[in-house]
Amino acid sequence: MSTIAHEKYEAVIGLEVHAQLLTESKAFAPVSTEFGGAPNTQVTPLCLGHPGTLPVLNENLVRYTIRMGLATDCKIAEKSIFARKNYFYPDLPKGYQISQYETPICYDGSIHIEMEDYDKTIGLTRIHMEEDAGKSIHDQDPTDTLVDLNRAGVPLIEIVSEPDIRTPQEAYAYLIKIKQIVQYLEICDGNMEEGSLRCDANVSVRLRGQEKFGTRTELKNMNSFRNVERAIQFEIERQIELIESGGEVVQQTLLWDPNKLETRQMRTKEEAHDYRYFPEPDIPPVIVGEEMLDEVRSELPEMPDVRLERFINELKLNEEDARTLTENRQLADYYEGVLQHLDDPKAVANLVMTEVLRVLNEESIDIRQFPIGTERLAELIALKKDDKINSSAMQQIFNHMLKNGDSAMDLAEEMNLLQVSDTGFIEPIIDDVIEQNPDEVKRFQDGKKQLIGFFIGQVMQRSKGKANPQQVREIITKKLN
């Protein structure tokens, strides 16, 4: 099934994305947020909801959120307040979540997405600060649900989009963009599979040309970017079929089942919570002055769109290469790190895009774990550029560099791969090749010029890769003509 089949209908989609912030301590308590600790070891009386405990706002929560707000062209509220969102759940000992309600810290922003044949700007209604709940574990004990409160109070931002998204593909692109932005800002690791990015999708359909929105459903439990796309696609189809067969969409929350690839009902609006929001009395209003704004602004890195443009316009890379290299900040930093030692954007891009990315993929590692430093890689590329080694030697040396820390030059010498441009070395080899292949020589002279490749190959082989192919080509051409 595809949305294109539905010329009659159009989907309207709004996303609510939660991003877990990389602050060292929790939102309102001085205790570590580090992932993977033994259950319930990172808790304070506040996380446990003990009476008499008081929250203290982590300043980095505010700063990180402002970073996101500035990076997405939001307005930043001079004064915003926290609110209590009341509900009962075992992983929420306080009985309420501290969030923001009427006055979010960031509002009226936008995120730009690029689709294959058009670009589009998705409006952001708001970005607000809140705390995470603990974790209920249902599958470790045969009869009981266990609760781990290490996550209780870990800071989150919620990014709420305007209902500007029209297709599952746009939703996907929007999420990937958010991931890229939070990673560039270094405020969230952006990993959806591990839950540091979470997305709820609101979906409705309407007849094309109709202004009024249809009734929406809210989809939850999609733990990968692709699942968000699939779930939305499924839900659009379901709603259209329902309407076409005379039914009506009911406002409800649906859970995506990643195994069955379908949504199922979780709760309807009638059972929906009334959170009884009210201003959090224990935390003073958050005041953001010009000074703090300037400080945060000065901490902002070059953002991906700007970097992409610069790679295309100043480094003269083609768009596809520039996109790949700027996709994540660390890779772009690495690439530019190599350029610091060797000012040849194209040559460096070529090696990074092929060999380096191949290794990252094969080993499933991050560029930060890549064993060859920027200076070392620059040295290798420079050897090739200066015609000291040829491409096959570059590849061999690269493979060795992955395993040991030797410099490219040392390896080239050790492996006997330095190219010899000395004609005294090459000429006799060329003469041999010509002498031993009279048929090919004749055909070449009769006009089959492609045979030049054959001769060069022979010479390269006999020189054990040490001849300079360009020079070999020149000499052979001269001798055969």
Is there binding between residue 198 and ligand ADP (CB under 6 A)?
Answer: no
Shortest Cβ 340–ligand ADP spacing (Å): 42
Cα–Cα–Cα angle for 225, 229, 232, rounded to 5 degrees: 135
Q: Which is nearer to ligand ADP, 128 or 466 (CB)?
A: 128
Is there binding between residue 160 and ligand ADP (CB under 6 A)?
Answer: yes
Q: Any idea which residue has 């952001």 for tokens?
A: 124
Is there binding between residue 13 and ligand ADP (CB under 6 A)?
Answer: yes
CA distances from residue 220 to 3, 79, 151, 262 in whole angstroms, order as listed: 21, 32, 20, 12
168-185 vs 59-71: helix axis angle to the nearest 10? 130
- Under rule CB under 6 A, which residues in 415-474 are in contact with ligand ADP? none
Is there binding between residue 202 and ligand ADP (CB under 6 A)?
Answer: yes
Stretch near ligand ADP under the rule CB under 6 A, chosen from 51-59, 76-84, 131-139, 202-210: 202-210
Q: Which of 147, 151, 208, 193 is nearest to 6 (CA)?
A: 208
Burial class of 245 by CB neighbour count within 10 A (0 to 12, 13 to 18, 19+): exposed
Structure tokens at 170: 């746009």
Q: Which of 12, 293, 441, 452 binds ligand ADP (CB under 6 A)?
A: 12
Is there binding between residue 168 and ligand ADP (CB under 6 A)?
Answer: no
Q: Which of 161, 196, 252, 419 binds ligand ADP (CB under 6 A)?
A: 161
Residues in contact with ligand ADP, counted by CB under 6 A, come to a total of 14
Cα–Cα–Cα angle for 133, 139, 142, rounded to 5 degrees: 125
Sign of the CA dihedral with 191 first, then 192, 198, and 199 last:
positive
Q: Which of 134, 157, 156 is nearest to 145 (CA)?
A: 134
Is there binding between residue 80 and ligand ADP (CB under 6 A)?
Answer: no
- How far is Cα 253 from Cα 40, in angstroms, rounded to an integer? 30
Is there binding between residue 204 and ligand ADP (CB under 6 A)?
Answer: yes
Stretch near ligand ADP under the rule CB under 6 A, chosen from 8-16, 25-33, 220-228, 422-430: 8-16
Shortest Cβ 101–ligand ADP spacing (Å): 10
Is there binding between residue 162 and ligand ADP (CB under 6 A)?
Answer: yes
Q: Give, as one character, the DSSP assignment of residue 468.
A: -
Stretch near ligand ADP under the rule CB under 6 A, chosen from 199-207, 234-242, 291-299, 465-473: 199-207
Q: Which positions touch ligand ADP (CB under 6 A)? A: 12-16, 160-163, 202-204, 213, 216
